[in-house]
Structure 1
Amino acid sequence: MNNENFNNETSQSNFEEHSSSTEIPGKKKWLLPTVFAVLGICSTILFFKAGELKKLWSNSSADSLKCGMTQTAIYEKYKNSVVLVANSYVYEVKVKGSAPVQFTVTESGELTPYDEHQNNPITITGTGFFVSKDGKLITNRHVASPWTVNSADDITSIKEVVSYKIPDDIEASQIADYIKQHWSEEIKEIDEEWAEVKLHTDTAVAAVDSAAGDISINMPEQKSKNPVDIAEIEVTGKIVRLGIALHNNKVKQIEDFIPCEFISQSDDPNVDVAVIQTISHNLPSKVKNVVDLSLAANDDSAIKPGTKAIMIGYPMGMQLAGTQKGIKVQVYEGEVNKESDGFAVQYNITSTHGASGSPVFNDCGRLIAVNFAGYDQTQGFNFGVVAKYALSLYENE
C-alpha cells in the first residue's frame, strides 16, 4: 500500500513535472513574438520621431548656448549669408492693347523708352539673406518688385506722361513705332513747359528704406490736343536683371552680381517681404550658415521693448559698402523700443536707405524681424516686419 501510494505520488509528481516542462516552451513561443512585436512598434515610432526629437534637443541646447551672443559673434556667423541685392527694372506700357513698350527714367528725370544699347534701366539696391541650401533668400517686396509700393500714384504719373505724348487717333498697332520715332523730339519741343513731379514711394508709417529713394520725373502740362485716355493705358513693372553680391565680393556693375530670379511676395500690403533665389538654385561656396527660419521668433508679442536688436545689411548700398578689397557688410546694434502691432516692430538701430531686407537678430541669434522702413528726418526710428511673416511666405513656396 505504501509502495502503491509512493508510486502514485511518484507518478503524480512525474506528471506535474512533465506538464510543467511542456507548458514553458509554449509560453515562450507566445511571449517572444509579442516582445519582438512591441520592440518593432517602438523602433518604428522612434525612427519617425528621431528627427523631431533630435531637432527639439538641438534647438533647446542651441538656444541655451546661443543666448548672450555678442554683436561680433552674430556678425561673424552671418556676414557671408547677408547679401547686397541690386534690382534693375523697367516699366512696360501698353496703350489701347498695343504691344508693350519698355520705359526707364533717366538721371535727369525724363521718362524715356528703354533701349539696352542707349540707356540704363532703373536700378535700386537693398539687402537680402539666405534661408535655404537651394539658394533662396528673404528680402523686401519693395526691393524685389519696386513698382508694387504705392504703385497707384507712381503708375498714374507715368500714365499721364504717356497720355500727353500719344494722340488718341493713333492706332494700337502703330503705338510702338510712333513712340520710337517721335518720343525724343516731342520731349525737346515742350521741355520748357514741363513741371517736376515726384513718384511717391513713401509708406504710411515712414519712407521706404531703399537705396533708390524717390524717383523723379518731369511731367508735361496738359495741352489742348486730344490725348489718349489714361484708362486705355496699362503699366506694369518688369525685372531686367536681379542679382546679389556677397561680403568681400568685388563688384562694379550689376553684371558682376550673382544672377537671381523673383520667386514670390506677400499679398498683404502690410507685409513687406519677398522671396528670391539664385538662378543656379545653389548656395555660393562661401556661405556656411543660412538663417534658420524655423528658429525665428514666431510669437512677436514676446519681442518686448529692451530686447537686443542686431541688424546686418548694406545701408546706402555701394556708397558705404564699396572698398578697394570688395564690398563690406555692416552691423548695427540697438534695442526694440516699441511692442509689435502684429505686423511690424520698432527699434532704435541706426539705418538708412539700402538696409531694406536686412535681417534683425536678438542676442540668441534668432531672427526677429526683416527691416523695411525708417524716417529720413531722424535716426533711431526704424521698422521691421516681424519674422513670422518671412517664415510663412517661405513655407508656402
Structure 2
Amino acid sequence: MDNEKNESNHEKLDQNQSQKNNNSHSDDFSEPQNPDSENIISENPGNEIHSKSAEEIPKETLPVTEKKKKNPYKIAFFSLGGIILLGGASYFGYQYYKNQQAEPIVENVCLDTDTKIYDAYKDAVVMVKHRYAFVAKIKGKEVQLNIPEASEETLFGTAFFVDKKGNMISNSHVLQPWISPENIDKINTDGANIRRKIASILTADIPEDGYETFIASNWGNASSEYHEEGGYHEGDSEEGGGEEFINSNDVAIDSATTSDDIAASIPHKEYVSEDEIEVYMKTVDISVALHNSADVWLPCTIEKISEDQSIDLGVLQLTTKETPNTVVNIISLDNAVTDDQSLRPGEKAVMIGYPLGEDLAQTISGIKVQLYNGQISKESDGTKIQYSVTSTHGASGAPVFNNCGQLIAVNFSGVEKVQGYNFGIIAKKIYSVYPVIAGEVKPSTE
C-alpha cells in the first residue's frame, strides 16, 4: 500500500518536473523586456542551470526573433514621401524652365496681349552693331585710312530673324548708313576732300604697301584746294605764283637765267593722279547680339540692299548661315499682314527693338530687348505707315506687330526730337529684298 502511494507520488513529481521544463523552453523564445539586463536561461550538459547576461552571449547565438524587425508600413511611408518630394521638385523646376523659355507659336492663334507677343518673339529680335569708316582705293589697292577725317564710326540698330538659315530683316540705312538721305551729301563731300588731299601728297614712287603709313605721316601737309597750274601739290600758293620781286636797291641780274637755275635745282616729283584714287565708306565689322546674351556678338554679312531708295529695307545673315537654337519662334513672313489697306487708324501697334542701342539695352544680367506700344495713326500710303509708338535711334529695323502678333511693318524713321510720329515700311515690301521662290524664302541675288 505504501509502495503504491510512493509510486503515485513519484509520478506526480515527474509530471511537475516535466511541466517546469516545458515552461523553461517556452521562456527561451519569448522577447526580452530589457535585453541589457535580463538573464537568459541555458542548460548545461550536467543539467545545471546558469544565468548569463545578454552581452556575454555571441550575437550569432541569439534566436532569430531577438533581431529587430523592420516595419514594412514605415518603409512604404518614407518611400512614398520621397517620391512625392522628388516629383514636386521636378514639376516646379520644369515650370520655372518653361516660364523662362518661349513656347512655339500655334498657327493661326491670336497672341492677344503685349506680353504674349513679347514672350513669343523676344529671342528673334537682335541688336545690330555696325562699324564703318572711309577707305581709299589707290591704283586698285584698298587702303584703310588712319586720318582724322576718316575715323571709324559705330551705329546701332535692330534686326529680326525670318528663317532658320540665319537671315534677318533690317533697314538699308542700318546696313549701309552712308546711303541714307540725311548722310549722303555730307559723306560725298567729305570723300571728295579726302581724295584731293591724298592726291596732293602721295608721290608715284611710294610702294603700295607703304600707302597707309605715308598718308598718315604726311597728312598735315595735305591740301584739298586745287590750283590750275600746280594741282594739289604742297608748296603751291595762289598769291605768290612762284615769282620773285626785286626792289631798286638790288643788284641787277639776269632774271631769266636765275629762274632757270632755280627750276633746275628743284627735284621733280610725280604725284599719283586723282583719277587713280577712289574714296568711299565701307563696313569694318557688322554683328548682332541676342536678347539675354552677355556681350556676345555674332558676325554677319550684308546680303541684300533695296534698290528702291523709298524702301528702307535690307537682308543681313549670320556667317554661320544658321539661326541659333535659342530662337524658338522666327517672325514668319507667311503670317505677316500683306493687305496694308486693312490696317486702320486706332488699331494697336506693338514694337520690339533696341532704341538707343547699348545705352538702354545693356543691363547687369545681359542685353535686354524692349517693348513699346501705341496706335496706328494714319492709313498706309502703299509703302509706309505711321503709328504713335515711342521710338528713337537704335530701333531702326525693329518689327512692328498688330494686336494678334502679326508683323505689319518694319520701323525705319521718326520725327527728330518729337515722340509719337514714327513710320514703318509695310510688311509686304519685304518681298522686294527677300522674295519667296518655290515655297522657300531666299534672298535675291540680283
Give the TM bin, normalised by the shorter chain.
0.5 to 0.7
Query: Where does 1:312-391 land on structure 2 (aligned, <5 Å)?
Result: 312-391=352-431
TM-score norm. by structure 2 comes to: 0.60
Q: Give yes or no for the alignment of 1:148 onto 2:179.
A: yes
Moved more, 284-293 or 229-238: 229-238
Q: Give yes or no for the alignment of 1:73 onto 2:116.
A: yes
Q: CA 1:75–1:234 in 2, change beyond 3 Å: closer, same or farther? A: same
How far does residue 223 in structure 1 lie from its aligned partner after superposition?
6.7
Residues in 1 aligned to 2:146 and 2:349: alpha-carbon distance in whole angstroms:
38
**Secondary structure of the structure 2 residue equivalent to 1:66:** coil
Q: Kindly provide the amino acid, as one letter, of the partner of residue 239 in structure 1.
A: T
Q: CA 1:298–1:181 in 2, change beyond 3 Å: closer, same or farther? A: same
| Count of aligned positions | 290
Q: Kindly provide the amino acid, as one letter, of the partner of residue 170 in structure 2.
A: T
Q: Determine which of 116, 129, 149 is the counterpart of 1:111.
A: 149
Residues in 2 aligned to 1:265 and 1:73: alpha-carbon distance in whole angstroms:
32
Task: Give deviations 1:147-195, integer Å, cap 9, x for gaps.
Answer: 22243541232221331343288339757735522434433x68xxxxx
Query: Where does 1:12-91 land on structure 2 (aligned, <5 Å)?
Result: 62-63=107-108, 65-66=109-110, 69-91=112-134
Counterpart residue number, 1:258: 298
Q: Kindly provide the amino acid, as one letter, of the partner of residue 127 in structure 1.
A: T
Q: CA 1:362–1:229 in 2, change beyond 3 Å: closer, same or farther? A: farther
Indicate if the aligned counterparts of 1:155 and 1:235 stay in contact, CA closer than 8 A: no
Residues in 2 aligned to 1:88 and 1:327: alpha-carbon distance in whole angstroms:
19
Counterpart residue number, 2:144: 102
Indicate if the aligned counterparts of 1:99 and 1:173 stay in contact, CA closer than 8 A: no
The runs of 4+ residues in structure 1 deviating greater than 6 Å are 228-231
Q: Determine which of 219, 222, 225 is the counterpart of 2:225.
A: 222
TM-score norm. by structure 1 comes to: 0.66
Indicate if the aligned counterparts of 1:310 and 1:363 stay in contact, CA closer than 8 A: yes
RMSD of aligned alpha carbons:
2.7
Counterpart residue number, 2:169: 138
Counterpart residue number, 1:200: none
Which protein is bigger by CA-based radius of gyration? 2
Q: CA 1:277–1:168 in 2, change beyond 3 Å: closer, same or farther? A: same
Q: Kindly provide the amino acid, as one letter, of the partner of residue 124 in structure 1.
A: L
Counterpart residue number, 1:199: none
Query: Where does 1:163-242 land on structure 2 (aligned, <5 Å)?
Result: 163-167=196-200, 170-171=203-204, 177-187=210-220, 222=225, 226-227=231-232, 233-242=277-286
Q: CA 1:172–1:306 in 2, change beyond 3 Å: closer, same or farther? A: farther
Could you list the runs of 5+ residues in structure 2 that have no partner in the other structure?
Answer: 1-104, 233-271, 437-442
How far does residue 340 in structure 1 lie from its aligned partner after superposition?
1.5
Q: CA 1:136–1:75 in 2, change beyond 3 Å: closer, same or farther? A: same
Counterpart residue number, 2:287: 243
Q: CA 1:229–1:339 in 2, change beyond 3 Å: closer, same or farther? A: farther
Residues in 2 aligned to 1:89 and 1:104: alpha-carbon distance in whole angstroms:
13
Indicate if the aligned counterparts of 2:193 and 2:224 stay in contact, CA closer than 8 A: no
Indicate if the aligned counterparts of 2:143 and 2:211 stay in contact, CA closer than 8 A: no
Indicate if the aligned counterparts of 1:98 and 1:173 stay in contact, CA closer than 8 A: no
How far does residue 297 in structure 1 lie from its aligned partner after superposition?
1.3
